[in-house]
Structure 1
Amino acid sequence: MDLIDRAGEMRSGEELDLARLRDYLEPVLGSVANAIEVKQFPGGHSNLTYLLSAGGQRWVLRRPPFGSKVKSAHDMSREYRILSALKDVFSFGPVPKHFCDDHDVIGCDFYLMSYIEGLVIRRQYPASLHLNSSQVRQQLLNFFDVLSELHSVDLAAAGLDSFGRPEGYVRRQVEGWCRRWVDSATPDTVAVDATMQWLHDNMPAESDMASVIHNDYKLDNVIFSAANPLDVIGVLDWEMATVGDPLMDLGCTLGYWVQLSDPEFFRESRTMPSDIKGAPTRREIIQRFQEKTGLSVDNFPFYFCFGLFRLCVIGQQIYYRYYHGHTKDERFAGFIKKAFVLQRMCELIISGEVVD
């Protein structure tokens, strides 16, 4: 039974200059660099990851998407700094190996990190993975416990106490995502004015805890052990990580969390199998989170609604590119439907029809 997430051939248009890469990495990795072979990992609409192999050793190379113009959205040096800070205080992050800002190598900043071999769960559980409902429950509780562990990292010990701007984080996030919606709205999209106003009117006070937050913590950004699939062994994709309010981070994750009791239209839109039998409900998750962190979760509807609205904006931003002809990728045409689905769930939360 092979549960390992495998890399494949490099996708057309996303190839790396292997000769330049080998030459550059020889002083970093030694003579083994001359034998490096490259494959590419599947998935993702943002930063790209490649598997480098040579002499029985493996590394992962991470770079921005081709054609990216917005440096702040794909800041490799920032990711590298966060992983470097976390490597001694959070055991689930890849270990950073080397950062390169010489664009003569592959045309952009990139960094190398350790390769973590294991199982990645995407929209469906792998057919070869056989877990009973109690095992599913434990696996997914373990997934959330790792998030709580990240939020418990001592900022000073990690050297991240001056990283990010935790004060006013909730307000900046609400205002920022509302602004992004306005900038990406198209004439055919859903109306979200009422949701934006509700988020402004119902912002809770900042929590008493500033933490390292991942900001895109979901199942396909986590690696489980292939030998023991209940155990998390790695957390990936740190491009949006910062220091901020951990309850906002939980809300971002719960925006992805579709459960069995949800309306059918929402369940049909799920991107990960969180509605499988045995999976904990959102209410159970936030109660466990409260037990682990000691934080009040009284404003759970706000955080859940924010998580949904944020995904609504992300989907609209992707659709905006398609609508205006910036991409011809037909996959992006369907993102407007996601915006309607997510906005409808926001409405149900605001009205009290969906309470957990």
Structure 2
Amino acid sequence: MRQDPPPGLDPERLRGHLDRALPGLVGGPLDARLIEGGRSNLTYTVTDGTGRWVVRRPPLGHVLATAHDMRREYRVIAALHPTAVPVPEPLLLCEDESVLGAPFYVMEYVAGTPYRTAEQLAPLGPGRTRAAVLALVDTLVELHAVDPGAVGLADFGRPDGFLDRQLRRWGKQLDGSRSRELPGIDELHGALGRSLPLSPAPTVVHGDFRLDNVLLGDDDRIRAVLDWEMSTLGDPLTDLGLLVMYSVPLDLPGSPISTTADAAGHPSPAELIERYAAASGRDTSAVAWYTAFAWFKLAVILEGIHYRYTLGQTVGPGFDRIGDLVPVFIRHGLTTLQLQEG
């Protein structure tokens, strides 16, 4: 039975455009299903009963022109596809908003599983879990080994002053979400600003590199890295710091924030850092700064969610507990930075 089309994607209009732009790709009427939605870009699977593809478009409603740039996502995937970095094959970029009401792109469908929680990893067992997370580090090394100029991404970002801009950006995000006292967060922000490390040579950075943003195949190999909406040229150790942060067990029973760090067999943060340093040849001695910055950034993001909850702008379970997590992230950030300074 054919399903009703999901919001934001008209299968008939999409098929008409694909028939014109990529004749022969689609062999019949399309069914579409929304697989990811919300404030982030929307992701759909579409099928004609034989082939299957993925469509990405901005969220419904008004968005800033630069906030959900389909051209940037498509460009970085197209540039990386011929490299060792596993990404889906990009098939088509459409910036004609008359087709679906917004720019969109189409890429191949890659079979695989995004593991979001320790519970989901449990059936793999400790050995396979460990191998999957170490493969994640190896994939990050492959990404950071790509020469941006050689793949046409020399102008993909502004790496000069990258860390300073990032810190100022997230400081402004914090100011826009202030609705209560948050002990320690200004101390953390100030300490990060006073101890900015010297960035290594810029690379393509993913911006949100973690296990649930990749697809693992049945053979436990990473089949595809997804969600490139925050990618740019910048300091590669920001990706490492975020990955390390997500590898610290939170030990918060009932938390609405799920991580894979508690899974049996999950490598320790020190193991991930050592593996990255050995494979990349980069100096990781300042990684505590980057990890503390990741704690700060996530604290700001969570505080923004909490602020919207207090205004009645969020719907769903768990939002009432998000605010309680912010002080935990602040404490982790301060402790991590003190270890760096010590």
Verify same fold: TM over 0.5.
yes
Asked if 2 retains the 8 angstrom alpha-carbon contact of 1:101 and 1:109, the reply is yes
Which residue, 159, 162, 165 being the options, matches 1:166?
159
Which residue, 106, 112, 115 being the options, matches 2:109?
115
2:78 partner SS: helix
Partner of 1:64: 58
1:297 partner SS: coil
- Give the CA deviation at 1:326: 3.7
Partner of 1:95: 89
Task: Say what the alpha-carbon RMSD is for the aligned residues.
Answer: 2.7
- Give the CA deviation at 1:265: 3.9
**Alpha carbons of 1:182 and 1:218: their partners in 2 closer, same or farther (altered >3 Å)?**
same
In 1, the alpha carbon distance for the partners of 2:186 and 2:335 equals: 15
In 2, the alpha carbon distance for the partners of 1:225 and 1:193 equals: 42
**Alpha carbons of 1:103 and 1:85: their partners in 2 closer, same or farther (altered >3 Å)?**
same
- Give the CA deviation at 1:11: 9.3
Asked if 2 retains the 8 angstrom alpha-carbon contact of 1:322 and 1:329, the reply is no
Partner of 1:246: 236
In the alignment, structure 1 residue 219 sits paired with structure 2 residue 221: no
Mean CA deviation greater in 197-206 or 176-185 = 176-185
In 2, the alpha carbon distance for the partners of 1:38 and 1:102 equals: 20
Letter in 1 for 2:133: L
Mean CA deviation greater in 82-91 or 107-116 = 82-91
Partner deviation per Cα, 1:157-214 (whole Å, 9 max, x = no partner): 111122201111111111211121112222265551101011101111122x211110
Q: How does 1:1-356 map to 2 (within 5 A)?
A: 14-30=7-23, 32=26, 34-42=28-36, 45-126=39-120, 130-187=123-180, 191-207=184-200, 209-226=201-218, 228-229=219-220, 231-259=221-249, 264-265=251-252, 271-329=258-316, 331-352=318-339
Mean CA deviation greater in 159-168 or 316-325 = 316-325
- Give the CA deviation at 1:238: 0.3
Letter in 1 for 2:66: S
Asked if 2 retains the 8 angstrom alpha-carbon contact of 1:256 and 1:270, the reply is no
Tell me, which stretches of 5 or more residues in structure 1 are unaligned?
1-8
In 2, the alpha carbon distance for the partners of 1:331 and 1:45 equals: 17
Asked if 2 retains the 8 angstrom alpha-carbon contact of 1:258 and 1:270, the reply is no
- Give the CA deviation at 1:146: 0.3
Partner of 1:5: none
In 1, the alpha carbon distance for the partners of 2:190 and 2:4 equals: 44
2:275 partner SS: helix
Aligned residue pair count: 340
In 2, the alpha carbon distance for the partners of 1:344 and 1:335 equals: 15
- Give the CA deviation at 1:354: 12
Asked if 2 retains the 8 angstrom alpha-carbon contact of 1:59 and 1:115, the reply is yes
Runs of 4+ in 1 over 6 A off after TM superposition: 9-12
- Give the CA deviation at 1:267: 9.8
**Alpha carbons of 1:247 and 1:24: their partners in 2 closer, same or farther (altered >3 Å)?**
same
In 2, the alpha carbon distance for the partners of 1:353 and 1:156 equals: 33
